[in-house]
Structure 1
Amino acid sequence: MMNRLVAVLAAATALEPVARRTLLKGVPAAAALATPALAADNALQKTSCFEVIPDSSLALKPKLTPIKPDKCIGGLKAAKALYLGEHHNSLRDHLLQADILRALRRSEPRRPMAVGLEAIQRRFQPVLDDYLRGAIGLEQLEQQTEWSTRWTWPFANYVPVFEAARLNNFELLALNADSEDLGVVEMGGLAGLPNATLAKYIPDRRVFADFTNTTAFREYIAYVVAPSYRSHKEMGILRQTISGQQLKEDMPFKNFYSGRMLWDNSMANTGAVWTRKNPSGLLVSVIGADHVKFGGGVPNRYAYAAGLDLDKVRTVILNPSAVDTAGPQLETLRADAPVPLTLQIRFAAAAGDGGIPVINGD
């Protein structure tokens, strides 16, 4: 069974079709919406929540249904892992994440819970531990994780998440691959990493190979990762690795893809290790929406690594617009054409059909 996607929205207008011109102007998905109040204690109650019910039949007719915030939390806590897909620069997303953490803790005061952070690279796990035990404050946390060079999105926007985790007895997990290792992969592919280093991120190569050899994964790559690569290429930002090495020509797709796989595997396997140590626990990961949508990035990979059925994983896209769910069709739509909301991409093969479906709900 495919895991359900719960879309948590701050405004119903986020579901309306968006003209491609808006994307081309570089406006972030949440930028055109109202700036939130700084207080986030009741952010969830002021939010419209919708649940996507996928359809595994040949009809491919997923449904989008509204649910109340309390029921939403009930569904989320039934999982072993929850992925909150964010827009990194959106304070509203981070305020909502913080309120979801508080609601989860209120619902289960004694359950082991952890917050996994894409923003923090693995080497800085001791810094997160120091913050949780009160040895350092937020200023030292920002400095000692080298936030300004390794993540760069506004640290202040993430403060509500850090504080909600600390005050509500969550562990904090550094999920992301170290820039030094990712830079090597972007230069020369996965083969460029020493075996011992690669094993930190991909501990079982057979599991890795099995996961990538599925229709669902190939559809995800074609629908999400390949368009992202072409977008990066158009913007002229493929001449430098994440760690700053200059390239003589654009990074080839193979290395871009390999870097993405290292990134996603790092987040998935770090979470899976925590789950195995805490079998009754709930892992809540705050990561970018592209790594969450349609499950093909981190969530399904986590389930595979942790040995869990997909119904033990929940995925959430925070404050989405139709652009968030769009794929290759953005490259062919007229600038003023509406972008349809896509609820599901194919996760099983259809005989004689090699295309990428764009599936809209009711």
Structure 2
Amino acid sequence: MSAGQWFIPGEGTAVSHGEVLANAARSRTVLLGESHDRPDNHRWQMHVCAGLLALGRKLVIGFEMFPARLNPVLAEWVAGNLNEAEFAERAEWSTVWGFAIEIYMPIFRFARDFGIEMLGLNCRRGLVTEVGKDGWEAIPDEMREGLSPSKPASSAYRQYLFDITGGGRPGRKATSAEDPGFDRFVRAQQTWDRAFACRIADRLAQGDEVLVVGIIGRGHLEFRGGTPYQLADLGVEDCTVLLPHIADAPHAAGQGDAMCTMPVKIEPPAER
């Protein structure tokens, strides 16, 4: 597949940009996956958002990168009340996210330029750690950030998580996806999955006919085992998953609703 070409994973059947976006625009929510360190993924996300906006949908863009408590800061940015340096500082970027803000700025600028509401989808990192260690029931109600407990992971999702974290590599404590020793990681991952789903579902419940676009790491989206699975449990089943694709990488049926081939990654020249 050439750069910019959409296709159906598993089949390899090419579909047009217009067809993919038209179908996605009819959804209640569109989830755009990413590999966090790839600038091309973030530019692609911005272009998809621009296409959805051009089709007449009122967008809200939700970001894994921000906890929901920072929504007032995101609103100030969209309103034009902060410059970029102030935004980075007020949004606590250096502590809430570990990747260079420059690669995300195009989509942040897009939201501001078009007055698009930005939504923090994340929770505090400590909640993820605590649920992973002790389970949801050990968390006091006042520390749950308004989230509900995750629907238990399917066997397929456990296997997916086990495989992408190294499978049965030598020396690993958990010997299989169903090993109780893997439960802590699964609980932690599902805390993120559920947080993103709850924030999206809560925004959709406001009833103003918005299309919520989620900017989320692809591991939470592939094969619909993470955030889409939790959204369905919350009654939001009309969800489209679109993913960027590295040319010549394998793909499988059900990995997403459609995938778009990224350009060949060009590394910066070595310093002399």
Q: TM-score, normalised by structure 2?
A: 0.82
Correspondence 1:308-327 to 2 at 5 A: 308=236, 310=237, 312-320=238-246
Amino acid in the other structure paired with 2:5 = S
Residue matched to 2:176? none
- Conserved in 1, the CA contact under 8 Å of 2:31 and 2:215? yes
- Conserved in 1, the CA contact under 8 Å of 2:123 and 2:145? no
Distance 1:157 1:235, change over 3 A: farther
SS of the residue 2:106 aligns to: helix
Q: Taking every aligned residue pair, what percent have the same amino acid on both sides?
A: 21
Residue matched to 1:71? 19
Runs of 4+ in 1 over 3 A off after TM superposition: 228-236, 320-323
For 2:171 and 2:118, locate their aligned partners in 1 and report how far apart those are by CA, in whole Å: 34
- Conserved in 2, the CA contact under 8 Å of 1:118 and 1:286? yes
Q: By how many angstroms is 1:97 displaced?
A: 0.8
Aligned residue among 41, 51, 69 for 1:93: 41
Q: TM-score, normalised by structure 1?
A: 0.62
For 1:113 and 1:157, locate their aligned partners in 2 and report how far apart those are by CA, in whole Å: 21
Q: Does 1:263 align with 2:192?
A: yes
Residue matched to 1:107? 55
Aligned residue among 298, 302, 309 for 2:231: 302
SS of the residue 2:212 aligns to: strand
Q: By how many angstroms is 1:117 displaced?
A: 0.2
Aligned residue among 162, 174, 184 for 2:130: 184
Distance 1:149 1:234, change over 3 A: farther
Distance 1:64 1:261, change over 3 A: same
Residue matched to 1:132? 78
Q: By how many angstroms is 1:180 displaced?
A: 2.5
Corresponding pairs, count? 249
Residue matched to 1:49? 6
Q: By how many angstroms is 1:265 displaced?
A: 0.5
For 1:275 and 1:313, locate their aligned partners in 2 and report how far apart those are by CA, in whole Å: 12
For 1:105 and 1:68, locate their aligned partners in 2 and report how far apart those are by CA, in whole Å: 18
Deviations 1:26-68 (A, max 9, x none): xxxxxxxxxxxxxxxxxxxx6101134xxxxxxxxx6332111
Distance 1:126 1:235, change over 3 A: farther
Amino acid in the other structure paired with 1:83 = L
Residue matched to 2:252? 342
Q: Does 1:162 align with 2:119?
A: no
Distance 1:234 1:139, change over 3 A: farther
Unaligned runs of 5+ in 2: 173-179, 256-272
Aligned residue among 99, 102, 106 for 1:153: 99
Amino acid in the other structure paired with 1:341 = H
SS of the residue 2:240 aligns to: strand
Distance 1:322 1:255, change over 3 A: farther
Q: By how many angstroms is 1:231 displaced?
A: 6.2
- Conserved in 1, the CA contact under 8 Å of 2:59 and 2:212? yes
Aligned residue among 134, 158, 183 for 1:221: 158
Q: By how many angstroms is 1:229 displaced?
A: 4.4
Q: By how many angstroms is 1:252 displaced?
A: 4.7
Moved more, 136-145 or 85-94: 136-145
Amino acid in the other structure paired with 2:7 = F
Residue matched to 1:81? 29
Amino acid in the other structure paired with 2:184 = N
For 1:284 and 1:119, locate their aligned partners in 2 and report how far apart those are by CA, in whole Å: 13
Deviations 1:273-331 (A, max 9, x none): 111113522111111011111111112321331x23x3x211011134676xxxxxxxx
CA RMSD in angstroms, aligned pairs only: 2.7
Residue matched to 1:282? 211
Amino acid in the other structure paired with 1:150 = V
Distance 1:89 1:121, change over 3 A: same
